[in-house]
Structure 1
Amino acid sequence: MNEPALVATGTNNAKPASREYGARRFFRLYGEAYALVALLALIAIFFTLLPATRDTFPTSANLRIVIANQAVLAIVALAAFVPLIVNEFDVSVGANLGLSSIFAAVAMSAGMPWFLALLLAVAIGTSIGVVNGVLVTRAGINSLISTLGISIIIHGIVTWKTGGVSIVSNIPPILSKFGSGTLFGIPLPFFALLIVALLLGYVIIFTPFGRYLYAIGSNISAAKLVGINTTRMVILSFVISGALSGFAGFIQIARTGGANPRVGESFTLPALAAAFLSASAILPGTYNVAGVIVAVFFLATINSGLNLAGAEVYVNDLVNGFALILGVGLSKFLGRNRA
């Protein structure tokens, strides 16, 4: 008498369980992936409706300013993102940007053509990346300590080179026009970011190089066992980081019409915050290029709204600091959850 009831009970419970699994699976596939995008949209709506910012925030002028200003930061965040894939830190990305911009600006002030100055900036950034990679892999120094030490050394070099004075003379007009110009209403620096993001995304996702990086970040011992040259790959991750930082330094010259010896300091923290936050967007638990871009404009939307609302300058630092902690926490949590 009881057997049919037991069977019926089991059958009735199977459908809700299936629906629950389907809902959970949907959330894991899409909810986690696009939660930061949705939050960005909600924050934008909030500042659009807020009385203090509704006349200034949702304007095309403010949107162009945000996009243009964040193009450089996004490139630096992509620079910081590459070593993170192999579980290494590059906290010298901001200092590297500053060093590259200073020497490129000095060279152009002395008459060097802008395209050679661009190559110089990338070469300087790449050289710093090589040094960072060798210190981490060959000398065995913790990447956080070694890159922090390099950033301090760079600060001393920049101060010696400039005496604390910005370089603004003889910057080619074509460079300044690029930094402030638009195409179809979109700031030109954004196209530089777009090219970098597409190229880096292709390399990371569709080439063996990118798969090797993720393999090292997942399990370096297993990567060694399957024949991956982990030392070379880690060095290359720092080299790419340095090259992107140097390129960002050159774009920063275009944006500001010169080179400020202290500009690098303002990029390090938000770049690292965005790089870590990338693991909570698009591909949860995995550092990814699209996630970096989303995270950069997520932070930019908050900071822009706060600035227009009249918030004190220190509030931006609080936001970036909390974002860095949140990014690290979410990347750890989502990584364990996916595993």
Structure 2
Amino acid sequence: MPQTNVRVRRPRAESVLVLTREAFDWRRFTSRYAIVGFWALMCALYAVLMPGKFLQASTFHSIFASQQALVFLALAAMMTFVVGELDLSIASTMGLSATLVPVLAVLHHWNLPLACVVAVLCASLSGLVNGLLIVKVGVQALIVTLGSSTLLLGLASLASSQTTVSGLSVRFSDLALYEIFGLPVGFYYGVALALVIGYVLTFTPLGRHMTFVGANREVARLAGVPVDAIRIGSFVTGSTLAGLGGVVLVASIGGFDSTSSGTYLLPAFAAVFLGTAAVRPGRFNPIGTLVAIYFLATGILGLQLLGYSGWIENVFYGTALVVAVSLATIVRRRTASN
């Protein structure tokens, strides 16, 4: 008896329903963009509590125009986190770069572009030294980067004689403060940098290798991935981004107090870990980090407008870091179990 192929047609309504569910997964959407929803709720709460203060164009300009250096620093930290490493020296690296530019240009009368290049190269060199000590010598990253952080802080204080060096040209400030569509150009630097890093991590072999190394270093080595080169490169890249952040920072404020660089480290780490709860849950990603930075900035500014000042910034960022790490741990466990 010949076999016949019988096609069972699914009812049209049921097919549409299944396709709709497959095309749009609400659980995945909410897990990726929950932080955006909380951000909107936070803004709504502040708007209700103080409409005369919060609902001002100057408020949102302050949020998006004042985080340029933190964006560079958080993305610098993320570059080492992606490959499973840790760099506690990035804030001091940024501080050294921000200190060297005015010291070389104002006190020693160097050409300003050359001073910027030398400052960034010094930052890259510090990352290279850290990477070699950690990868080739085998010293723990915590020890190396903590020591180099203190060393770089001391070198910055030595170079500036423990004073804030200013006097850079007004035109130099346009590098960070020139406004486009109402926001300083430094904001667009951060967005462009996040997009480039996101593209590299997602769509290039290098980015996939970095993620592979961060997930399982030994398996990546057995698969032929140049693990040591990627680890060292992550430290160099992170320090270079921190150095560029220092140039943008000093361009925006005109001078830099080298002793204040440590205050940038906690916010950067908080943003990176909180960013793992957004866009690509459970993974370090630049777009999530960018969203987290402005989420945290909104929270801080709103509390300051409510009258909380001084201590509130440390409390908020410290709490955010603990909560962010906890969320990242939970999300990673759920992702692994699925």
The residue type paired with residue 121 of structure 2 is A
Q: What corresponds to 2:120 in structure 1? A: 122
Aligned to 1:173: 170
Q: Which deviates more, 290-299 or 255-264?
A: 255-264
Deviation at 1:75, TM superposition (A): 1.1
Q: In the alignment, which residue of structure 1 is the partner of 2:48? A: 49
| Residue equivalent to 2:94 | 97
Q: Cα deviations across residues 170-225 of structure 1 (Å, max 9, x unaligned)?
A: x1221123433311211121122122222222222221111001001111111011
Supply the distance in 1 between the matched residues of 2:34 and 2:77 (Cα, whole angstroms): 23
| Alpha carbons of structure 1 residues 178 and 229: separation in structure 2 relative to 1, 3 Å | closer
Residues in 1 aligned to 2:323 and 2:142: alpha-carbon distance in whole angstroms: 19
| Alignment match, 2:313 | 316
Distance, in Å, in 2 between the alignment partners of 1:73 and 1:147 is 19
Aligned length in residues? 317
Partner of 1:35: 34
Q: Structure 2 vs 1, CA of residues 251 and 332 (structure 1 numbering), >3 Å: closer, same or farther?
A: same
Conserved 8 A contact 1:177-1:254: yes
Are residue 237 (structure 1) and residue 234 (structure 2) matched?
Answer: yes
2:139 paired residue number: 141
Larger displacement relative to structure 2 (133-142 or 276-285): 133-142
What are the within-5 Å matches in structure 2 for residues 249-268 of structure 1? 249-268=246-265
SS of corresponding position for 1:138: helix
For residue 272 of structure 1, report the CA deviation from its aligned partner.
0.7
The separation in 1 between residues aligned to 2:26 and 2:194, in whole angstroms, is 27
Q: Which residue of structure 1 aligns with residue 57 of structure 2?
A: 60
Offset at 1:39?
Answer: 0.7
> Is the contact between residue 71 and residue 290 of structure 2 (CA under 8 Å) also seen in structure 1?
yes
Question: 293-302 vs 113-122, which deviates more?
Answer: 113-122
CA distance in 1, matches of 2:306, 2:280: 33
1:165-314 correspondence to structure 2 within 5 Å: 165-169=163-167, 171-314=168-311
Contact kept? 2:175, 2:185, Cα under 8 Å? yes
Report the 3-state secondary structure (helix = DSSP H, G, I; strand = E; otherwise coil) of the residue aligned with 1:56: helix
2:52 aligned counterpart, secondary structure: coil
For structure 1, list consecutive stretches of 5 or more residues without a partner in the other structure: 1-14
Q: Percentage identity across aligned positions?
A: 31
Q: Are the aligned partners of 1:135 and 1:146 in contact in 2 as well (CA < 8 Å)?
A: yes
**3-state SS of 1:111 partner:** coil
**One-letter amino acid of the counterpart of residue 50, structure 1:** L
Separation (CA, whole Å) in 2 of partners of 1:27 and 1:87? 31
Measure, in 1, the Cα distance between the counterparts of 2:198 and 2:137: 30
Q: 1:268 to 1:154 in 2, by over 3 A?
A: same
1:90 positional shift: 1.1
TM-score with structure 2 length normalisation?
0.89
Whether 1:113 and 2:115 are equivalent positions in the alignment is: no
Please say which of residues 328-337 and 247-256 is displaced more in the overlay.
Answer: 328-337
Cα root mean square deviation, aligned: 1.9
Secondary structure in 1 aligned to 2:260? coil
Amino acid across the alignment from 1:108: A
TM-superposition CA deviations, 1:284-321 (whole Å, max 9, x none): 00100101001101110001111111103111111111
1:155 aligns with 2:146: no
CA drift at 1:27: 4.4
Does the Cα contact within 8 Å between 1:285 and 1:334 map onto a contact in 2?
yes
Question: Separation in 2 of the partners of 1:178 and 1:196?
Answer: 15
Superposed CA offset, 1:313-336 (max 9, x none): 111111111111112111121111
> Which residue of the partner structure matches residue 78 of structure 1?
75
Moved more, 108-117 or 227-236: 108-117
Give the letter for the 1:234 counterpart: R
- Note closer, same or farther for the CA distance 1:217–1:44 as it changes in structure 2 (3 Å cut): same
- Normalising to structure 1: TM-score of the pair? 0.89
**Larger CA deviation: 194-203 vs 310-319:** 194-203
Q: Secondary structure at the match of 2:151?
A: helix
Give the CA deviation at 1:26: 2.9
Could you tell me how far apart the structure 2 residues matched to 1:213 and 1:195 are? 20
State whether residues 103 and 160 of structure 2, in contact with CA within 8 Å, keep that contact through their aligned partners in structure 1.
Answer: no
